[in-house]
Chain A
Amino acid sequence: MAERVRLITGNHIIAEAALAAGCTFFGGYPITPSSEIAESLSRKLPEIGGYFIQMEDELASLAACIGASLVGHKVMTATSGPGYSLMQEHIGFAAMGEVPVVVVNVMRGGPSTGLPTKTSQGDLYQAKYGTHGDAPAIAFVPATVREAFDATVKAFNFAETFRTPVSILADEVLGHMIEAVEMPEPGSYEVVERIKPEDFSTYSHYDHATAQIGKPLANYGDGARFHVTGLTHDETGFPTNDPELIAKCHNRLLDKVTENADKLFWRETDGIENAEIAFVAVGTASRAARVVINRLRSEGRSVGLYRPITLWPFPADDLKNSISAAKTVVVPEMNAGQLVEEVRKYAAPATRIVQVNRFDGELITPDEIYASLKAALEEV
């Protein structure tokens, strides 16, 4: 067992997890603080007969991944804020064309070029609303290096079953932080293989009648000769302007995710039932929150943590129930206030919401969260 314990960074474990999940194709473009993922896979993919290509920009990176996914590969790209912005057009394309892809965003400070080497949680909303139109969104926010492994494997599994892009929102601290991890044994986690159609001659890439997931996916070159387009299309994949067919196409894409949200549900709670003070946090910010929670508990307070790991689709009902008894909800995050807006939507009207925001490139600290909470409690 001991030989499976490794000192490894978040970025490197994401690369390892991608291979464990069956990734055979990576297309990327260098960007801090995500480049170690590409570097790692540029060494490893050729060794297993996989494919690594450095493209000319981030648009091309995700485009190449989509092309490779359609010929049968499990694919991934990795980037950071500015690159994630450029990829948004193709995140929408993959959603519209129902193509499995995994996109890792190791978040850094923004807007624009912002803070290439410093941390942030500024892209929580970009992961949901970044691409134009009403596109479905699936995104995971891991908090530890070990959890980044699970999030990556799940991202591949869900990309395959939902046939849609899945984002992993790591951040600079998680990406570069070294933790001692007992690497999971192959077989100890689920890996979903792509389901091939039984008969290529009758294969239809689209079925707008249902929100069903886990449908087969043919590869270009195997005999199905199907059409994929970014245009709103009928079930043959051909563009349509018929309002009824348009609605069917769009509803299928969104319903796939909303009607199967229970399968994506993944969160951690700690003493949240009946807690007077509830912390809601994601990713590395939740680790600072934990320190505060322990401190408050030692002071005899009733405190709990609610931590979505699947951020999108947002666990609205579960959060609502979990924090219904809380008088105070604390939302620490490394941005100007994004997660807190979701919490406001689902918190009871009388709840006192304390938002603690830091977006100067530094990891949010337990002391500042503690101080903000104390100040808010004293105001009453």
Chain B
Amino acid sequence: MTEPADGEKINAASTADELYDCYLRKTSKFPHVWCSGCGIGIVLGSLIRSIEHIGLKKDDVLVVSGIGCSSRLPGYVDFNTLHTTHGRALAFGTGAKFGRPALNVIAVMGDGDALAIGGNHFIHSCRRNIDITAVVINNFNYGMTGGQNSPTTPEGSILTTAPYGNIENPFDTCDLALGSGATFVARSTVYHVAELKEYITLGIRNPGFSVVEVYAPCYTGYGRRNEAKTPTGMIAQLGKDAVPFKKTLLNRRKPPGSLEGGKFHIGIFRDERKNEFCNSYAELVKKRKKDMENPISS
């Protein structure tokens, strides 16, 4: 990220009303498209609280998204916003970040968006370690198109395209990010909003590619077909099932399916530094220009 001067809070705001006034677009964008009980609004709240906490200037933030429920988020927020094609948010974001490294680029994606159609861009963004923060809102199904199974749908779940139960193995988003080279990887849920704000903040501050996965309920598309009684019950269940991850030599992180009783780890799974793409390119340009000025030594 690009740190504001002296850590100054340029858009100082604190109450919900002040956050609303500062960060949401007012020009008849509401009511929003999300269903009652949807978790995406909570992620939106955490996202703008993180940006406010860091004190980023609104002009210096680009929120980019793909297609799906979560990808409608940029339309509501008063930043530079780019709502792209299905799965390609990171590819658009890469061009924008690379072309203007001073921008803080945040990509908001769903599970199908980021990991199925956008899986290639996801792993290559991790590998490239370009300074973008990817917020993957995982609601375990394709909500906008009517509740079809996605790459993170648990085995056995009932979906509109898995009416007899999903037989596929799900992806673990964080495993994929870790294996592909992302330098900050964390998981939270919409129940754990304090942690969520913290992880997004750390993700934005990490000068490299960051993945923050957020488990979120989709009652309409997923929950009501799979024994959830209410949307709020789904959020409460996330609170019960989440197991805080403590990194010790003996306690290696386990993928969600391997904890007993539907439990899963939340926490920071990686926070380290390595060469970032835009920086490496700037070094390359600098070196090439120097070599051109001193052709003999090159």
Q: Which A positions have Cβ atoms within 8 angstroms of B?
A: 25, 27, 46-47, 49, 51, 53, 55-57, 59-60, 63-73, 75, 89-90, 93, 219-231, 236, 238-239
Using Cβ atoms and an 8 Å threshold, which residues of chain A touch B79? 225
- Report if B34 contacts A (CB, 8 A): no
Using Cβ atoms and an 8 Å threshold, which residues of chain B touch A239? 75
CB contact under 8 A between A230 and B92, given known A64-B98, A220-B100, A223-B59? no
In contact, A221 and B62 (Cβ under 8 angstroms):
yes
In contact, B85 and A63 (Cβ under 8 angstroms):
yes
In contact, A63 and B80 (Cβ under 8 angstroms):
no
CB distance from A318 to the nearest CB of B (A): 36
In contact, B75 and A221 (Cβ under 8 angstroms):
no
Beta-carbon nearest neighbor of B130 in chain A: A53
- How distant is the Cα of A222 from the Cα of B78 in the complex, in angstroms? 14
- Report if B102 contacts A (CB, 8 A): yes
Interface of B is mostly: helix
- Report if B19 contacts A (CB, 8 A): no
- Report if B160 contacts A (CB, 8 A): no
Interface of A is mostly: mixed
CB contact under 8 A between A56 and B120, given known A49-B285, A63-B92, A71-B96? yes
In contact, B92 and A222 (Cβ under 8 angstroms):
no
In contact, A67 and B82 (Cβ under 8 angstroms):
yes
In contact, A227 and B75 (Cβ under 8 angstroms):
yes
Q: Which B positions have Cβ atoms within 8 angstroms of A?
A: 25, 27-29, 58-60, 62, 64, 74-75, 78-85, 88, 91-100, 102-103, 120-121, 124, 281, 284-285, 288-289, 292
CB distance from B108 to the nearest CB of A (A): 14
Once A and B bind, how many residue pairs between them come within 8 Å at the CB atom? Answer: 131
- How distant is the Cα of A249 from the Cα of B60 in the complex, in angstroms? 29
Beta-carbon nearest neighbor of A27 in chain B: B95
Q: Which of A63, A228, A236 has the most CB of B within 10 A?
A: A63
CB distance from A23 to the nearest CB of B (A): 12
In contact, A63 and B288 (Cβ under 8 angstroms):
no
Using Cβ atoms and an 8 Å threshold, which residues of chain A touch B75? 227, 229, 238-239
CB contact under 8 A between A53 and B80, given known A46-B285, A67-B64, A219-B100? no
- How distant is the Cα of A351 from the Cα of B19 in the complex, in angstroms? 70
In contact, B59 and A225 (Cβ under 8 angstroms):
yes
CB contact under 8 A between A70 and B82, given known A64-B92, A64-B95, A222-B59? yes
- How distant is the Cα of A69 from the Cα of B83 in the complex, in angstroms? 15
Please give 5 more A-B residue pairs, beta carbons under 8 A apart, in addition to A46-B285, A63-B91, A227-B25.
A55-B124, A57-B120, A59-B85, A63-B95, A67-B94
- How distant is the Cα of A89 from the Cα of B85 in the complex, in angstroms? 8
CB contact under 8 A between A51 and B288, given known A60-B94, A67-B64, A228-B83? no
Beta-carbon nearest neighbor of B80 in chain A: A220
Using Cβ atoms and an 8 Å threshold, which residues of chain B touch A55? 91, 94, 124
Using Cβ atoms and an 8 Å threshold, which residues of chain A touch B83? 227-231
In contact, B102 and A221 (Cβ under 8 angstroms):
yes
Tell which of A64, A72, A73, A93 touches B94, judged by Cβ atoms closer than 8 Å. Answer: A64
CB distance from A83 to the nearest CB of B (A): 14
In contact, B27 and A71 (Cβ under 8 angstroms):
no
Beta-carbon nearest neighbor of A62 in chain B: B91
Using Cβ atoms and an 8 Å threshold, which residues of chain B touch A230? 83-85
- How distant is the Cα of A176 from the Cα of B281 in the complex, in angstroms? 30
- How distant is the Cα of A129 from the Cα of B83 in the complex, in angstroms? 24
CB distance from B63 to the nearest CB of A (A): 10
Of all A-B residue pairs in the complex, the 8 with the closest CB atoms, nearest first, are: A67-B95, A64-B95, A68-B99, A63-B91, A67-B96, A60-B91, A71-B100, A229-B83
Using Cβ atoms and an 8 Å threshold, which residues of chain B touch A75? 95
Using Cβ atoms and an 8 Å threshold, which residues of chain A touch B84? 63, 66, 93, 230
In contact, B82 and A46 (Cβ under 8 angstroms):
no
- How distant is the Cα of A53 from the Cα of B91 in the complex, in angstroms? 11
CB contact under 8 A between A67 and B93, given known A47-B292, A49-B285, A53-B98? yes
CB distance from B66 to the nearest CB of A (A): 10
Question: Could you list some 28 contacts between A and B, CB below 8 A?
Answer: A49-B285, A51-B99, A53-B94, A53-B95, A53-B98, A53-B281, A56-B91, A60-B120, A63-B84, A64-B91, A67-B91, A68-B95, A70-B82, A71-B95, A71-B96, A72-B100, A73-B99, A93-B85, A220-B96, A221-B102, A223-B59, A225-B58, A227-B74, A229-B75, A230-B84, A236-B27, A238-B29, A238-B75
CB distance from B95 to the nearest CB of A (A): 3
Using Cβ atoms and an 8 Å threshold, which residues of chain A touch B98? 25, 51, 53, 64, 68
- How distant is the Cα of A238 from the Cα of B98 in the complex, in angstroms? 26
In contact, B60 and A221 (Cβ under 8 angstroms):
yes
Using Cβ atoms and an 8 Å threshold, which residues of chain B touch A53? 94-95, 98, 281
